[in-house]
Amino acid sequence: MGRVMLIIPTFLGVYTLLMTKTRGAIIGVLIGGVLLAALLYSIKKNNVKKTVLMILVSLAIVGCIGAVTVQSFHRSYDYERVLLLKSSYAMWEDHKLYGVGFRHWAREYPNYISPAAREPDLTIPHNVIASFFDETGIIGGFGFLLLVFGTLIIL
């Protein structure tokens, strides 16, 4: 009964993740699952050669699945994100140290919007790192990166 209680939320979580069509998250979960399975196998069997071979084969499989996933979930507005990133960089260039302030990206965006952009009313740059650098400048952006990489090192 205990395993069923773990399997149901796992399948619901995977289903929900697939429904979001968030390619990066889907590929990240796949890679994390493969690496976790390889680690658990390595600990259980204590066989390094088989573990390395299993990791390589698993990563190849995940790579193929990831390539199919990226092609399947291609959206027509993906290039808009590239334009947002360029606009965000231009905004950061003008406000390097302190940024434009939290929740002020949307107010400043019309001054930096690309002529090729099709969505002029966006409220965020759809990139967390760009958002932190735009809104909080170098001080907040590097603080955010320190938090992210510090957490990864601790984990």
By percentage, how much of the chain surpasses pLDDT 90?
A: 11
> Per-residue confidence at 101, pLDDT binned at 50, 70, 90?
confident
- What are the CA-CA distances from residue 39 to residues 7, 139, 146 (Å)? 20, 38, 27
Across 2-28, average pLDDT:
79
What tens digit of pLDDT does each residue of 133-145 get? 999 999 999 999 9
DSSP state letter for 109? G
The C-alpha angle with vertex 79 and arms to 74 and 81, in degrees rounded to 5, equals: 105
- What are the CA-CA distances from residue 140 to residues 60, 97, 131 (Å)? 38, 9, 10
Residue of higher predicted confidence among 137 and 74: 137
Residue of higher predicted confidence among 123 and 70: 123
Across 75-99, average pLDDT:
83
Residue of higher predicted confidence among 97 and 35: 97
Q: Looking at the predicted structure, is the pLDDT value of residue 1 above 90?
A: no
What tens digit of pLDDT does each residue of 107-118 get? 888 888 888 888
Residue 139: predicted pLDDT: 92
Residue of higher predicted confidence among 29 and 62: 29
Q: Helix axis angle, 48-72 relative to 23-45, nearest 10°?
A: 170
Using CA atoms, how far apart are residues 106 and 110, in angstroms rounded to an integer?
A: 8
